[in-house]
Structure 1
Amino acid sequence: MNFSTPTLIVNKTITLNNLDKMINVANKNNLILRPHFKTHQSIEVGNWFKEKGVGSITVSSITMAEFFSSEWNDITIAFPLNILEIGKLNLMIKENRVKLLIDSISSLKALDNQLEGPAEVYLKIDVGYNRAGLKVDEKQKIKSIINFCKTSDKISFLGFLAHFGDSYKSKNKMEIKNVFQKSIERIKVLSDGFPNFRISIGDTPTCSTIKKYPDFINEIRPGNFIFYDLAQYKIGSCEIDDIAIRMICPVVSIYEEREEVLIYGGSVHFSKDRLTENESDIFGYVYFGEVWDVSNKIGYIKSLSQEHGVVKLEKQISLKIGDKLNVIPVHSCLAVDKMGAFYESGKRVEIMK
């Protein structure tokens, strides 16, 4: 198609190859693959998973669970319960199996008090990311939550859910493996102390790198792996040709004396996520020519404002106003969310609104 404004495109072949590899890891380890759908946010891509036999999904909000509930009936909401949305939740659980996340006895009691039907809950465990959840050594709090669920006629306790978020701070595969090992050691303490409960873990870096899982892990929940992005490539989660997403941006000005190009494509399209490379900010790798050819890199986006993107050229190349450049974004999840839709084989794919 002849795109005239910043446009996000997805390569289905690469996407399905990424999915096949993750399914293979799950199958070899007898794990449930419960992919996180916050990356693609689309019914269309969700159906690609379904066609591959994936029957359970993860989402990041009650709103996202509502969106996918028309096609999926086994959904984990991997965000601690927001009790102010209990009305929407009560409507949803009448027809869908929704697994909830709690991380305190107070939120559990509030849920039990206002819930109008049965629900299953995971306890969020913090293995070192310091974002949400209880630490594995907070045994009394963990016991209180499990015991409370035993007395409830509406809430069933499933087990423990963890996100190895420190893996995103890694610089290479070895650091990713180290994060996994340290996190698994903490989870092992939890499993030994509270056996016979399910344990769900998930993040794209470790799920893309680790091939063998201990028997006490029951499921994995990666999300970004379906498209990958520049951030995942830079830490070693994937190869550059595993990245299944590009932003097509028009050239609007050329500054030969600065060896820079201005593109129509800014923070409203990419987000402001950045990487650092050779002491320079990087907002995306820039290519020219065939969209999926990773040998034709010509530079990188050095700065973004709302609609503007400034590209630093790394090689001499003949460009003209109106040419279109192909950009690998730093963070595919946010690029998809910012754009509100993407194209696959010329077809517009809508995402959750």
Structure 2
Amino acid sequence: MTRTLNDLPTPVLILDRSRLLANVARMQARAKQLGVTLRPHLKTAKSVMVAELAVGKSGPITVSTLAEAEYFAKAGFRDITYAVPMAPQKLDQVGALIKSGVDLKFITDHPAVAQAAAEAGQRLGVTFRALIKIDCGLGRAGIAPDSDILLPLAQKLSGALSQPGVELAGVLTHAGHSYGATSLAEIERIAEDERVAVVQAATRLRAAGFACPIVSVGSTPTALFAKDLTGVTEMRPGNFVFFDLFQQGLGTCAMQDIAVSVLATVVSHHPARNHVLIDAGGLALSKDTGANRNVPGTGYGRVCRPNEALPLDGMNVHDVHQEHGLLGGPDAPKVDFAAHPPGSRLRVLPNHSCMTGAMYDRYYVTDGGSEIIAEWDRVNGW
């Protein structure tokens, strides 16, 4: 039996497959143009079906949780990078995945973690593969490429000097500060800083006699606007599969490229307050308001009719409570209440698709129309 958007309980997460395919093709072409491997970061999609469209059925992929690593491993993915600094208590879980045949690499920037990995590898009878996290300007994690810690840390991860159980797989960085850029020219500059930092670290390691096969960069903005990735082996963008209002405001995508949205139902009108009430609030949409930095007034998301790509003027989500979303508001143009009666459906484009997706266990997939052509699962938690 054919189902449509009108048949779904709300709020639910809608995925436009045609937009997803176009976004994936765009990034695949960029990786080919730049001469690097695409290792997409699945922290955005958390879905086997999306991963298979991006890189096939075995990888390479990037994940942000070990729950994701286990989920993708069960689906047959064998080349996985866990791109969050390793906690020593998680090494047994990583070891079990390695024993099952997964080439699971982790990252660290701390000698104590390297020591713990060496000892755990000996105890478990596995060889962990670790990437050194390099800071290229974000200032969140990682060491500077010219840090005095780099070579001693590599020594601890090299499997030498009575340290079996772990080996150095390479270096990795992430230019997350590209999201704070104010122009495409600035994104290009940050992309070059990202490349220079990680290549400098790899060059130092190789000059000291360490193998450094993987030189990894990431972020959707820098992947799309880097002019050159000489010396880099792979890139790890993630948000590109879906995009969102933040990316649109940054200039990395068009409104029509945003592939996910939240389907909601109108539940009431409040003409005196000039707002329509929907059943999608802070949990369904997230409370990420970062898109307002580039486009003030975006609120908690922009609102479309179910089968239209572009948002309605003046119908942004101006406020949210846990299960309530308020459209319009005192500063918006007068709402056409007759156009949105209780029971009618609307779609909300997300400010940050990674955050918005976190509350949902599946995607209801369309090809741009109202018919539901598939349901794709996704993994949540840690």
- Normalised by the shorter chain, which TM-score bucket? over 0.9
Distance change (3 Å), C-alpha of 1:295 and 1:306: closer
Superposition map of 1:1-353 within 5 A: 1=4, 2-51=7-56, 55-70=59-74, 71-94=76-99, 95-115=101-121, 116=124, 117-138=126-147, 140-150=148-158, 151=160, 152-195=163-206, 197=212, 198-210=214-226, 212-274=227-289, 275-276=291-292, 280=297, 282-291=299-308, 293-294=309-310, 296-312=312-328, 313-314=332-333, 316-317=335-336, 318-345=339-366, 346=372, 347-353=374-380
For 1:217, the aligned partner's letter is: V
Counterpart CA distance in 1 for 2:311 and 2:355 is 25
Tell me the TM-score normalized by structure 1.
0.93
For 1:241, the aligned partner's letter is: Q
Counterpart CA distance in 2 for 1:130 and 1:294 is 36
CA RMSD in angstroms, aligned pairs only: 2.0
In structure 1, stretches of 5+ residues that fail to align are none
Stretch moving more, 160-169 or 317-326: 317-326
Give, in angstroms, the shift of residue 165 of structure 1. Answer: 0.7
For 1:294, the aligned partner's letter is: L
For 1:111, the aligned partner's letter is: A
Does the 8 A contact of 2:134 with 2:201 survive in 1? no
For 2:350, the aligned partner's letter is: P
For 1:41, the aligned partner's letter is: K
| 1:215-253: CA deviation from partner (whole Å, max 9, x where unpaired) | 211100001100111111111111111111111111111
Does the 8 A contact of 2:35 with 2:229 survive in 1? no
Does the 8 A contact of 2:171 with 2:202 survive in 1? no
Distance change (3 Å), C-alpha of 1:110 and 1:331: same
Give, in angstroms, the shift of residue 322 of structure 1. Answer: 1.1
Counterpart CA distance in 1 for 2:286 and 2:335 is 28
For 1:78, the aligned partner's letter is: A
Give, in angstroms, the shift of residue 298 of structure 1. Answer: 4.7
Give, in angstroms, the shift of residue 348 of structure 1. Answer: 2.3
Does the 8 A contact of 1:281 with 1:303 survive in 2? no
- The alignment partner of 1:311 has SS state of strand
For 2:252, the aligned partner's letter is: S
Counterpart CA distance in 2 for 1:219 and 1:287 is 36
Counterpart CA distance in 1 for 2:244 and 2:277 is 22
Counterpart CA distance in 2 for 1:185 and 1:193 is 12
Give, in angstroms, the shift of residue 178 of structure 1. Answer: 2.5
Distance change (3 Å), C-alpha of 1:295 and 1:41: closer
For 1:303, the aligned partner's letter is: D
| 1:302-322: CA deviation from partner (whole Å, max 9, x where unpaired) | 111100111115465322111
Does the 8 A contact of 2:14 with 2:263 survive in 1? yes
Does the 8 A contact of 1:266 with 1:306 survive in 2? yes
Counterpart CA distance in 1 for 2:223 and 2:334 is 36
Counterpart CA distance in 2 for 1:295 and 1:335 is 18
Distance change (3 Å), C-alpha of 1:295 and 1:60: closer
Counterpart CA distance in 2 for 1:229 and 1:322 is 26
Structure with a larger share of its residues in strand: 1
Tell me the TM-score normalized by structure 2.
0.86
- The alignment partner of 2:292 has SS state of strand
- The alignment partner of 1:276 has SS state of helix
For 1:64, the aligned partner's letter is: E
Counterpart CA distance in 1 for 2:195 and 2:47 is 32
Counterpart CA distance in 2 for 1:237 and 1:314 is 28
Counterpart CA distance in 1 for 2:58 and 2:70 is 19
The residue aligned with 2:369 is: none
Does the 8 A contact of 1:302 with 1:311 survive in 2? yes
- The alignment partner of 2:142 has SS state of coil
- The alignment partner of 1:282 has SS state of coil
| 1:82-122: CA deviation from partner (whole Å, max 9, x where unpaired) | 11122211211102111111111111001111122012110
| 1:12-44: CA deviation from partner (whole Å, max 9, x where unpaired) | 111011111111111122201000111111122
Give, in angstroms, the shift of residue 181 of structure 1. Answer: 2.7
Q: Percent identity?
A: 28
Does the 8 A contact of 2:120 with 2:165 survive in 1? no
